[in-house]
Amino acid sequence: MKRICLFSLFLLSVLAGAVSCGGDGGSRTDDDTLRPLYETRHAQRFALLTDDRGPVLRVMNPWQGADSVAYDYRLVADTAAVLRSGEIRWPIRSAVCMSSTHVAFLDAVGRADAVKGVSGLDFITNPAVHAAGAKEVGYDNNLDYETIVALRPDVVFMYGLTGENAAAAKLRQLGVPVVYISDYLENDPLGRAEWIVPFGLLAGRMEQAVERFMHTENEYNTLGERVASQVGKRPGVMLNAPYKDVWYLPGDRSYMVRLLEDAGGDYLGKGEDTDVSRPVSAEKALLMMADADFWLGPGMAQNMAQLKADNRRFADLPVVRRGDVYNNNARTTPTGGSDFWESGAVRPDVVLADLVRILHPELLPDHELYYFRKLE
């Protein structure tokens, strides 16, 4: 079944997502009987509801540009003989993950063993997933449907980019339940981390998930408040690196810029009130770099020699001459997978601590960098 529900914006604002709709493969739910199971604190893209029949996961606007779209997934007892459209066997015992963050969220609730298949397995840093023998299942445009069906997963966690994922319809035709996950669209670092709660619910470990999220939230907010009260001058920071002479700068409302600001940094690429990256010429970006106190995330560079070899103009930048360049590749796989893009979504408090240690080392003199490292 392929069905999109347009739900009332008025009801959405009043009920914080307790509106009924049937999404792509989602079941149609009677709103009159639904009540909140969990009140989200930061996340904007999911709601957890319940009624006498059990829990419902609602995923809202699961791709860039989606407007008033929601998918409902009803969780049904693991003993159910037959699943109807939009139903997920619960608690899940096996899953296929199309994103590294899906792996990290399951691991965070102690269910890395449930990961039976992964898209981009070579880029996954979690050793437990490899040790358990998870299978590579291919990528969106070239999924290995035969392997996925053979794994008989309780669910395939997917994401959408600019619209419905065509692979989702194919998987449903093959009898494989699909759930959209839109954690990557949360611009608030704590909103992204809060997706541990629906993963905890799906895994039958919601209480553990909520406790872990509350700990993360407390750690993040405590450090953020300390930075806000003690930091005077904010150092200028440049993000990313050019690709074919185009520099993609995160929008002012993006996830990484929010982290940077909470860490006491001044983002030099400001100028667009959006959460979408904008392209600027390398020449323009290099002019901005003249004021950079720090440079974070310079592409795939492993060391300063490689950075300078990538573009000879980098060698003349003051920030490069001072050596204040850091990359988020402290924890990687041989093929280039980075744990920053895996467990970093679950632990924004650790990411924030890394950034504070870099920008204001006097505030966290004993913190050892976990995701970031200084290029030598």
**Are 204 and 89 a contacting pair, CB within 8 Å?**
no
In this prediction, residue 11 carries a pLDDT of 30
Q: Is residue 226 a part of any domain in this protein?
A: no
- 372 has a pLDDT exceeding 80: yes
Q: What pLDDT score does 112 carry?
A: 97
Indicate whether 47 and 78 sit together in one domain: yes
More confident residue, 86 or 97: 97
Residue after which a domain boundary falls, among 154, 184, 213: 213
Residues 185, 80: one domain? yes
| pLDDT for the residue 304 | 97
pLDDT of 58 > 50? The answer is yes
**Tokens for 14?**
């009043």
Domain annotation covers residue 246: yes
Domain span at residue 112 reads: 5-213
Note whether 119 and 37 are same-domain residues: yes
Residues 208 and 237 in one domain: no
Domain assignment present for 90: yes
CB 118 within 8 A of CB 97: yes
| Total Cβ atoms within 10 A of residue 162 | 8
Mean pLDDT for the stretch of residues 28-45: 86
Query: Which pLDDT tens digit goes with each residue over 315-331?
Result: 999 999 999 999 999 99
Q: What is the mean pLDDT of residues 23-34?
A: 62
272-282, pLDDT tens digit by residue? 889 989 999 99
The CATH number that applies at residue 97 is 3.40.50.1980
List CB contacts of 305: < 8 A, sequence separation 6 or more: none
Same domain, 95 and 240: no
Residue 365: CB atoms within 10 Å: 7
Residue 158 pLDDT more than 50?
A: yes
In a domain, 257, yes or no: yes
Look at residue 85 in the predicted model and tell me its pLDDT.
83
Chain mean pLDDT for the chain: 91
pLDDT digits (tens, 9 = 90+) for 63-74: 988 888 999 999
Of 102, 144, 150, 152, the closest CA to residue 126 belongs to 102
- CB atoms inside a 10 Å sphere around CB 6: 10
Residues 289 and 158 grouped into a single domain:
no
Same domain, residue pair 207 and 240: no
Report which residue type is found at 42.
H
Same domain, 9 and 73: yes
Assigned domain for 219 exists: no
Total domains in the fold of the chain:
2
Average pLDDT over residues 145-162: 95
pLDDT bin (cut points 50, 70, 90) of residue 164 is confident
Q: How many beta carbons lie within 10 A of that of residue 87, not counting itself?
A: 18
pLDDT given at position 2: 34
3-state secondary structure of 371: coil
Q: Return the pLDDT at 7.
A: 31
Residue 25 backbone zone (phi > 0: left; psi -120 to 50: alpha; other: beta):
left
What pLDDT does residue 165 have?
A: 83
108 lies in the same domain as 185 = yes
Average the pLDDT over each of 14-23, 176-185, 250-259 and give the range with the smallest value: 14-23
In a domain, 199, yes or no: yes
What is the pTM for the complete model shown? 0.90
Answer for the pair 87, 149: CB distance below 8 angstroms, yes or no. no
Same domain, 151 and 16: yes
Q: Could you tell me the maximum CA-CA distance found in the chain, to the nearest angstrom?
A: 67
Domain contains 44 = yes
Q: Residue 13: what pLDDT?
A: 32
- Helix locations, the chain, DSSP H: 9-15, 100-108, 127-131, 145-151, 166-173, 189-193, 196-202, 206-230, 255-262, 282-289, 304-310, 318-322, 348-359
Does the pLDDT at position 22 exceed 60?
Answer: no
pLDDT at 269: 94
Would you place residue 79 in the very low, low, confident or very high pLDDT band (cuts 50, 70, 90)? confident
Work out the average pLDDT over 46-52: 97
Residue 156 lies in a domain: yes
281 and 196 assigned to the same domain: no
* Residue with token string 């990557």: 184
198-224, pLDDT tens digit by residue? 999 999 999 999 999 999 999 999 999
The verdict on 205 and 291 lying in the same domain is no
**Residues 37 and 49 sit within 8 Å (Cβ to Cβ):** yes
Q: Is the pLDDT of residue 144 over 90?
A: yes
A 10 A CB-CB count for 310 gives 15
81: confidence class by pLDDT, cuts 50, 70, 90: low
Residue at token pair 């600001």: 261
